[in-house]
Chains A and B, each alone.
Chain A
Amino acid sequence: DIQMTQSPSSLSASVGDRVTITCQASQDIYNYLSWYQQKPGKAPKLLIYDASNLETGVPSRFSGSGSGTDFTFTINSLQPEDIATYYCQQYDNLPLTFGGGTKVEIE
Protein backbone atom coordinates (compact mmCIF):
# COMPACT_ATOMS: atom_id res chain seq x y z
CA ASP A 1 0.00 0.00 0.00
CA ILE A 2 1.14 3.56 -0.68
CA GLN A 3 1.58 5.55 2.52
CA MET A 4 0.80 9.26 2.43
CA THR A 5 2.63 11.33 5.06
CA GLN A 6 1.19 14.77 5.60
CA SER A 7 2.79 17.54 7.62
CA PRO A 8 2.28 19.36 9.79
CA SER A 9 -0.63 17.67 11.56
CA SER A 10 -1.83 21.09 12.68
CA LEU A 11 -0.90 24.71 12.26
CA SER A 12 -2.01 28.11 13.42
CA ALA A 13 -1.69 31.19 11.23
CA SER A 14 -3.01 34.71 10.94
CA VAL A 15 -5.55 35.99 8.45
CA GLY A 16 -3.66 36.98 5.33
CA ASP A 17 -0.77 34.58 5.92
CA ARG A 18 0.50 32.11 3.38
CA VAL A 19 -0.02 28.54 4.56
CA THR A 20 1.84 25.54 3.19
CA ILE A 21 1.11 21.85 3.76
CA THR A 22 3.26 19.03 2.45
CA CYS A 23 2.36 15.47 1.50
CA GLN A 24 4.92 12.76 0.81
CA ALA A 25 4.10 9.47 -0.89
CA SER A 26 5.97 6.28 -0.04
CA GLN A 27 6.53 5.65 -3.76
CA ASP A 28 6.22 7.51 -7.06
CA ILE A 29 2.60 8.45 -7.71
CA TYR A 30 3.37 10.73 -10.70
CA ASN A 31 0.80 13.53 -10.32
CA TYR A 32 -2.11 11.34 -9.17
CA LEU A 33 -2.89 13.37 -6.09
CA SER A 34 -5.91 15.29 -4.83
CA TRP A 35 -6.41 17.74 -1.97
CA TYR A 36 -9.62 18.00 0.05
CA GLN A 37 -10.96 20.47 2.58
CA GLN A 38 -13.18 19.24 5.41
CA LYS A 39 -14.98 21.57 7.76
CA PRO A 40 -16.32 20.23 11.09
CA GLY A 41 -19.43 18.10 10.65
CA LYS A 42 -19.30 18.38 6.87
CA ALA A 43 -18.28 16.13 4.01
CA PRO A 44 -14.88 16.67 2.38
CA LYS A 45 -14.73 19.02 -0.58
CA LEU A 46 -12.43 18.52 -3.56
CA LEU A 47 -10.08 21.47 -4.06
CA ILE A 48 -7.31 20.21 -6.34
CA TYR A 49 -6.78 17.15 -8.55
CA ASP A 50 -3.82 15.88 -10.57
CA ALA A 51 -1.60 17.68 -8.03
CA SER A 52 -2.12 21.17 -9.42
CA ASN A 53 -5.48 21.47 -11.17
CA LEU A 54 -7.96 23.69 -9.36
CA GLU A 55 -11.46 22.21 -9.17
CA THR A 56 -14.18 24.34 -10.74
CA GLY A 57 -15.43 27.04 -8.41
CA VAL A 58 -12.53 26.82 -5.93
CA PRO A 59 -10.94 30.19 -5.07
CA SER A 60 -7.61 30.88 -6.72
CA ARG A 61 -5.87 31.43 -3.37
CA PHE A 62 -5.67 27.63 -3.18
CA SER A 63 -2.94 25.94 -5.19
CA GLY A 64 -1.02 22.70 -5.42
CA SER A 65 2.28 21.56 -6.86
CA GLY A 66 4.63 18.62 -7.01
CA SER A 67 5.05 15.27 -8.69
CA GLY A 68 6.60 11.92 -7.95
CA THR A 69 6.70 11.61 -4.16
CA ASP A 70 6.65 15.19 -2.87
CA PHE A 71 3.66 17.52 -3.04
CA THR A 72 2.73 20.91 -1.64
CA PHE A 73 -0.60 22.56 -0.98
CA THR A 74 -0.70 26.32 -0.46
CA ILE A 75 -3.29 28.80 0.72
CA ASN A 76 -2.25 32.31 -0.30
CA SER A 77 -3.75 34.85 2.07
CA LEU A 78 -5.54 32.69 4.63
CA GLN A 79 -9.17 33.64 5.18
CA PRO A 80 -11.38 32.91 8.23
CA GLU A 81 -13.54 30.57 6.13
CA ASP A 82 -10.47 28.43 5.37
CA ILE A 83 -10.49 27.00 8.90
CA ALA A 84 -10.72 23.28 8.25
CA THR A 85 -8.78 20.04 8.05
CA TYR A 86 -7.03 19.37 4.75
CA TYR A 87 -6.26 15.92 3.34
CA CYS A 88 -4.17 14.70 0.45
CA GLN A 89 -5.12 11.50 -1.38
CA GLN A 90 -3.29 9.37 -3.92
CA TYR A 91 -5.09 7.56 -6.72
CA ASP A 92 -2.16 5.99 -8.53
CA ASN A 93 -2.71 2.58 -6.94
CA LEU A 94 -5.35 0.66 -5.05
CA PRO A 95 -5.98 0.81 -2.18
CA LEU A 96 -6.62 4.52 -2.48
CA THR A 97 -5.02 6.20 0.51
CA PHE A 98 -5.31 9.51 2.33
CA GLY A 99 -2.83 11.49 4.32
CA GLY A 100 -3.47 11.90 8.02
CA GLY A 101 -4.80 15.44 7.66
CA THR A 102 -3.68 18.93 8.61
CA LYS A 103 -5.87 21.01 10.88
CA VAL A 104 -5.61 24.72 10.05
CA GLU A 105 -6.57 27.24 12.73
CA ILE A 106 -6.51 31.01 13.01
CA GLU A 107 -4.15 32.59 15.53
Chain B
Amino acid sequence: EVQLVESGGGLIQPGGSLRLSCAASGFTVSSNYMTWVRQAPGKGLEWVSIIYSGDTTYYGDSVKGRFTISRDKSKNTLYLQMNSLRAEDTAVYYCARDQSGLGWKRGFDPWGQGTLVTVSS
Protein backbone atom coordinates (compact mmCIF):
# COMPACT_ATOMS: atom_id res chain seq x y z
CA GLU B 1 0.00 0.00 0.00
CA VAL B 2 1.34 3.41 -0.92
CA GLN B 3 1.35 5.77 2.05
CA LEU B 4 2.81 9.07 3.21
CA VAL B 5 3.24 10.10 6.86
CA GLU B 6 4.19 13.67 7.77
CA SER B 7 5.82 14.86 10.96
CA GLY B 8 7.61 17.88 12.33
CA GLY B 9 4.83 20.40 12.74
CA GLY B 10 4.32 22.46 15.86
CA LEU B 11 4.26 25.91 17.40
CA ILE B 12 7.09 28.19 16.31
CA GLN B 13 7.77 31.88 16.86
CA PRO B 14 7.83 34.33 13.94
CA GLY B 15 11.24 34.35 12.31
CA GLY B 16 11.95 30.80 13.39
CA SER B 17 12.69 27.66 11.40
CA LEU B 18 11.09 24.26 11.18
CA ARG B 19 11.68 21.15 9.07
CA LEU B 20 8.79 18.97 8.02
CA SER B 21 9.31 15.32 7.10
CA CYS B 22 7.21 13.08 4.90
CA ALA B 23 8.06 9.38 5.09
CA ALA B 24 6.90 7.21 2.21
CA SER B 25 6.07 3.52 2.05
CA GLY B 26 5.05 1.42 -0.92
CA PHE B 27 6.95 3.55 -3.43
CA THR B 28 10.28 5.36 -3.83
CA VAL B 29 10.34 9.09 -3.11
CA SER B 30 13.52 9.67 -5.10
CA SER B 31 12.05 8.40 -8.37
CA ASN B 32 8.77 10.27 -8.14
CA TYR B 33 7.66 13.89 -8.41
CA MET B 34 6.81 15.03 -4.89
CA THR B 35 4.99 18.13 -3.73
CA TRP B 36 3.89 20.12 -0.67
CA VAL B 37 0.47 21.76 -0.38
CA ARG B 38 -0.77 23.80 2.58
CA GLN B 39 -4.12 24.86 3.94
CA ALA B 40 -4.53 27.78 6.33
CA PRO B 41 -7.23 27.33 8.98
CA GLY B 42 -10.66 27.52 7.35
CA LYS B 43 -9.16 28.32 3.93
CA GLY B 44 -8.56 26.56 0.63
CA LEU B 45 -5.60 24.65 -0.72
CA GLU B 46 -2.37 26.42 -1.69
CA TRP B 47 0.44 24.76 -3.61
CA VAL B 48 3.83 25.33 -1.94
CA SER B 49 6.61 23.46 -3.73
CA ILE B 50 7.51 20.57 -6.02
CA ILE B 51 10.59 18.48 -6.70
CA TYR B 52 11.00 16.76 -10.03
CA SER B 53 13.39 14.15 -11.41
CA GLY B 54 16.99 15.28 -11.19
CA ASP B 55 15.96 17.25 -8.11
CA THR B 56 14.70 20.26 -10.04
CA THR B 57 12.63 22.33 -7.63
CA TYR B 58 9.99 25.04 -7.86
CA TYR B 59 8.23 27.18 -5.25
CA GLY B 60 5.17 29.33 -4.87
CA ASP B 61 5.86 33.05 -4.71
CA SER B 62 4.78 33.29 -1.06
CA VAL B 63 7.55 30.90 0.11
CA LYS B 64 10.27 31.42 -2.48
CA GLY B 65 13.62 32.14 -0.86
CA ARG B 66 12.42 30.97 2.56
CA PHE B 67 11.42 27.31 2.03
CA THR B 68 13.51 24.48 0.60
CA ILE B 69 12.19 21.12 -0.61
CA SER B 70 14.54 18.13 -0.59
CA ARG B 71 14.55 14.35 -0.26
CA ASP B 72 16.72 11.61 1.22
CA LYS B 73 16.91 8.46 -0.87
CA SER B 74 18.27 6.33 1.98
CA LYS B 75 15.39 7.28 4.27
CA ASN B 76 12.76 7.37 1.50
CA THR B 77 11.67 10.70 2.94
CA LEU B 78 10.69 14.11 1.58
CA TYR B 79 11.46 17.29 3.52
CA LEU B 80 10.38 20.90 3.66
CA GLN B 81 12.81 23.24 5.40
CA MET B 82 10.95 26.38 6.42
CA ASN B 83 12.93 29.45 7.45
CA SER B 84 11.96 33.02 8.38
CA LEU B 85 8.49 31.83 9.28
CA ARG B 86 5.62 34.31 9.36
CA ALA B 87 2.18 34.25 10.91
CA GLU B 88 0.69 33.78 7.44
CA ASP B 89 2.58 30.47 7.09
CA THR B 90 0.27 28.99 9.74
CA ALA B 91 -1.41 26.04 8.04
CA VAL B 92 -1.75 22.32 7.79
CA TYR B 93 1.00 21.11 5.47
CA TYR B 94 0.39 18.10 3.26
CA CYS B 95 2.90 16.17 1.20
CA ALA B 96 1.75 14.28 -1.87
CA ARG B 97 3.06 12.38 -4.85
CA ASP B 98 2.52 14.05 -8.21
CA GLN B 99 1.51 11.18 -10.46
CA SER B 100 2.69 13.07 -13.56
CA GLY B 101 6.04 11.46 -12.90
CA LEU B 102 4.53 8.03 -13.49
CA GLY B 103 4.05 8.97 -17.15
CA TRP B 104 0.61 7.46 -17.58
CA LYS B 105 -1.61 9.35 -15.16
CA ARG B 106 -1.72 12.65 -13.32
CA GLY B 107 -2.93 14.33 -10.16
CA PHE B 108 -1.71 14.26 -6.58
CA ASP B 109 -2.02 10.85 -4.96
CA PRO B 110 -1.45 9.68 -2.31
CA TRP B 111 -1.52 12.49 0.26
CA GLY B 112 -0.17 12.44 3.77
CA GLN B 113 -2.42 13.08 6.74
CA GLY B 114 -1.09 16.60 7.20
CA THR B 115 0.92 18.29 9.94
CA LEU B 116 -0.06 21.58 11.57
CA VAL B 117 2.40 24.44 11.70
CA THR B 118 1.44 27.36 13.91
CA VAL B 119 3.54 30.50 13.74
CA SER B 120 2.82 32.70 16.73
CA SER B 121 4.55 34.50 19.57
A residues with a Cβ closer than 8 A to B are 1, 32, 34, 36, 38, 43-46, 48-50, 53, 55, 87, 89, 91, 94-101
In the complex formed, the residue of A with least CB distance to B111 is A43
Whole-angstrom distance from the CB of A34 to the nearest CB of chain B? 4
Cβ contact within 8 Å between A46 and B107: yes
A32 to B105, CA, bound (A): 11
Write out the residue numbers on chain A whose beta carbons fall within 8 Å of the beta carbon of B45.
Answer: 36, 38, 44, 87, 89, 98, 101
B72, CB-defined interface residue at 8 Å: no
B residues with a Cβ closer than 8 A to A are 35, 37, 44-47, 50, 58, 60-61, 94, 98-100, 105-109, 111-114
Write out the residue numbers on chain B whose beta carbons fall within 8 Å of the beta carbon of A48.
Answer: 107
Write out the residue numbers on chain A whose beta carbons fall within 8 Å of the beta carbon of B108.
Answer: 34, 36, 44, 46, 89
CB-defined A-B contacts under 8 Å, sample of 14:
A32-B106, A34-B106, A36-B108, A43-B111, A46-B108, A55-B107, A89-B45, A91-B100, A94-B50, A95-B58, A96-B47, A96-B50, A100-B44, A101-B44
Whole-angstrom distance from the CB of B52 to the nearest CB of chain A? 10
In the complex formed, the residue of B with least CB distance to A99 is B44
Cβ contact within 8 Å between A94 and B44: no
- Contact A49-B105, Cβ < 8 Å, known A95-B60, A95-B61: yes
Whole-angstrom distance from the CB of B98 to the nearest CB of chain A? 8
A97 to B46, CA, bound (A): 7
Beyond A95-B61, A100-B44, 15 extra complex contacts between A and B, CB < 8 Å: A34-B107, A36-B108, A44-B45, A44-B111, A45-B111, A49-B107, A55-B107, A87-B45, A89-B108, A91-B100, A96-B35, A96-B47, A96-B50, A99-B44, A101-B45
Whole-angstrom distance from the CB of A31 to the nearest CB of chain B? 10
A34 to B111, CA, bound (A): 14
Write out the residue numbers on chain A whose beta carbons fall within 8 Å of the beta carbon of B111.
Answer: 43-45
